[in-house]
């Protein structure tokens, strides 16, 4: 087997070569998509002694697959974990993590700005079927977590930066608090990707990415991953993925491996464009406020510098006007298309609060008129001129 450790120092080498064993597939530079549902064994003992962590032994496609394993090894290396698991969606990864970290009657502390469907899972299914209670905090200071975390708390759910108003949590401080109470820290790291932030190094226990965003990178795949630093926790997650059945398909895993190859160069461009766009918006007379952690005016800029190496292409802003004017502006854009999701090549615009009541908006932060944009790869000047023309319409 080739010596893989030489790739581990550099995230680009991990994306290009780590976890791949060319000699096993005729030295093809791209790994095959193993579309098999099962693998066969020489003897029954071989079958019964099969180890789910062995990279060279496979049994059944819901348990593990060689193409999926290449993706997982790369993610684990990029996140400095002992292992990673890939799922059919970000939500499959998230729900498997919650069901592994929690038990009936567990207490969870979650930030208000966590991904909406995950909050719905906690307050809906988990509450109804497992009597799991969740307290929500804004999460800008560790003191807010201290007010709710007790020895009954099993899980703290973070997303830093959050993907609408881009609030940050102090990952190291919250992780120390969690450890003192025997709780696990789960963090959605989709916004930063492993290139710009490594939460396991800061004390978090479970890192989640929806690979539907930057890791896929081309808006052609749905998937998710979890990375962890503890072998015991990894084993429990492996068991639960097998039981819940959420493994990603080999074709999707292959697309994610392909996405990873260019992720870092794409991110550098997304960030450079988003920074220019944020600066343009910040000085525009029709814009009241810009939410982007890369701007020195961001209230948590110092914390950002401490735990992140960069920011990606997603940002929000509030126009100096009501939601109807923001909607008109969004519909006047030509290059930015109206759509949810982000992380692909294309620029997108969305008004996530347009139909919420004022009270919910206040709790989440950001008014009804907040506009979220994803800065794609169409070119900085073209995107700024698109925004300039649309802002001139209101
Ligand atoms: C899209 C998204 C998810 C959910 O991922 P899916 O792959 O759609 O299930 C979770 N977290 C964040 C921050 C997201 O943007």
Residue 212 Cβ inside 6 Å of ligand 1? The answer reads: yes
Would you say residue 127 lies in a domain? no
Would you say residue 138 lies in a domain? no
Would you place residue 2 in the very low, low, confident or very high pLDDT band (cuts 50, 70, 90)?
low
Give the domain extent around 368.
262-391
Would you say residue 365 lies in a domain? yes
pLDDT digits (tens, 9 = 90+) for 167-223: 999 999 999 999 999 999 999 999 999 999 999 999 999 999 999 999 999 999 999
Mean pLDDT across 223-246: 98
Q: Any idea of the CA torsion for 260, 266, 271, 273, to the nearest 10 degrees?
A: -160
Residue in 169, 210, 313 to alter for ligand 1 test, most ligand atoms within 8 A of Cβ: 210
User: If you search the block for the tokens 């030509």, which residue do you land on?
Assistant: 334
- What is the number of structural domains in the chain? 1
Rounded Cα–Cα distance for residues 106 and 149 (Å): 12
pLDDT digits (tens, 9 = 90+) for 256-271: 999 999 999 999 999 9
- Å from CA of 250 to ligand 1 middle: 20
Query: Given CA atoms 16, 20, 24, 30 in this order, what sign does their dihedral have?
Result: negative
Would you say residue 384 lies in a domain? yes
Would you say residue 284 lies in a domain? yes
Residue 90 Cβ inside 6 Å of ligand 1? The answer reads: yes
Residue nearest ligand 1's atom 7 by CA: 90
User: Residue 4: its pLDDT value, please?
Assistant: 86
- Please say if the pLDDT value at position 9 is more than 90: no
The pTM assigned to this predicted structure is 0.97
Strands 206-210 and 224-228: antiparallel
User: Residue 12: its pLDDT value, please?
Assistant: 93
- Please say if the pLDDT value at position 335 is more than 50: yes
pLDDT digits (tens, 9 = 90+) for 54-86: 888 899 999 999 999 999 999 999 999 999 999
Rounded Cα–Cα distance for residues 277 and 269 (Å): 12
- Å from CA of 347 to ligand 1 middle: 17
- Å from CA of 162 to ligand 1 middle: 11
Residue 292 makes CB contacts below 8 A (sequence gap 6+) with 166, 274, 275, 278, 298, 311, 315, 316
Would you say residue 271 lies in a domain? yes
Helix (H) or strand (E) holding 364: helix 358-364
Q: Assign residue 276 the CATH number of its domain.
A: 3.90.1150.10
Would you say residue 53 lies in a domain? no
- Å from CA of 244 to ligand 1 middle: 19
Mean pLDDT across 147-161: 98
Would you say residue 349 lies in a domain? yes
């Amino acid at each position: 087997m080739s010596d893989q450790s030489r790739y581990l120092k550099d995230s680009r080498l991990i994306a290009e070569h780590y976890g791949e064993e060319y000699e096993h597939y005729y030295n093809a530079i791209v790994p095959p998509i193993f579309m098999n549902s099962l693998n066969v064994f020489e003897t029954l003992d071989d079958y019964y002694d099969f180890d789910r962590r062995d990279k060279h032994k496979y049994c059944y496609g819901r348990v593990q697959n060689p193409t999926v394993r290449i993706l997982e090894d790369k993610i684990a290396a990029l996140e400095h974990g002992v292992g990673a698991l890939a799922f059919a969606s970000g939500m499959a990864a998230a729900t498997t993590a919650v069901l592994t970290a929690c038990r009936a009657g567990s207490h969870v502390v979650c930030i208000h700005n966590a991904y909406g469907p995950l909050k719905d899972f906690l307050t809906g299914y988990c509450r109804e079927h497992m009597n799991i209670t969740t307290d929500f905090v804004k999460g800008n200071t560790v003191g807010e977590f201290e007010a709710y975390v007790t020895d009954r708390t099993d899980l703290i759910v973070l997303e830093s930066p959050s993907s609408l108003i881009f609030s940050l949590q102090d990952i190291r401080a919250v992780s120390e608090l969690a450890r003192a109470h025997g709780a696990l820290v789960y963090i959605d790291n989709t916004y930063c990707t492993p290139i710009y932030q490594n939460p396991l190094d800061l004390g978090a226990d479970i890192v989640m990415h929806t690979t539907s965003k930057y890791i896929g990178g081309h808006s052609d795949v749905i998937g998710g991953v979890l990375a962890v630093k503890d072998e015991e926790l990894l084993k429990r997650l492996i068991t639960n993925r097998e039981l819940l059945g959420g493994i990603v398909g080999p074709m999707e895993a292959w697309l994610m491996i392909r996405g990873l190859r260019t992720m870092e160069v794409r991110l550098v461009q997304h960030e450079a464009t988003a920074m220019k766009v944020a600066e343009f918006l910040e000085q525009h007379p029709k814009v009241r406020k810009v939410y982007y952690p890369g701007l020195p005016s961001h209230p948590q800029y110092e914390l950002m510098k401490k735990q992140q190496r960069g920011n990606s292409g997603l940002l929000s802003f509030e126009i100096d006007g009501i939601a109807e004017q923001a909607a008109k502006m969004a519909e006047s854009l030509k290059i930015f298309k109206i759509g949810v999701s982000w992380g692909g090549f294309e620029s997108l615009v969305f008004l996530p609060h347009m139909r919420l009541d004022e009270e919910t908006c206040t709790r989440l932060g950001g008014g009804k008129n907040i506009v979220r944009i994803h800065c794609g790869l169409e070119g900085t000047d073209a995107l700024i001129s698109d925004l300039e023309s649309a802002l001139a319409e209101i």
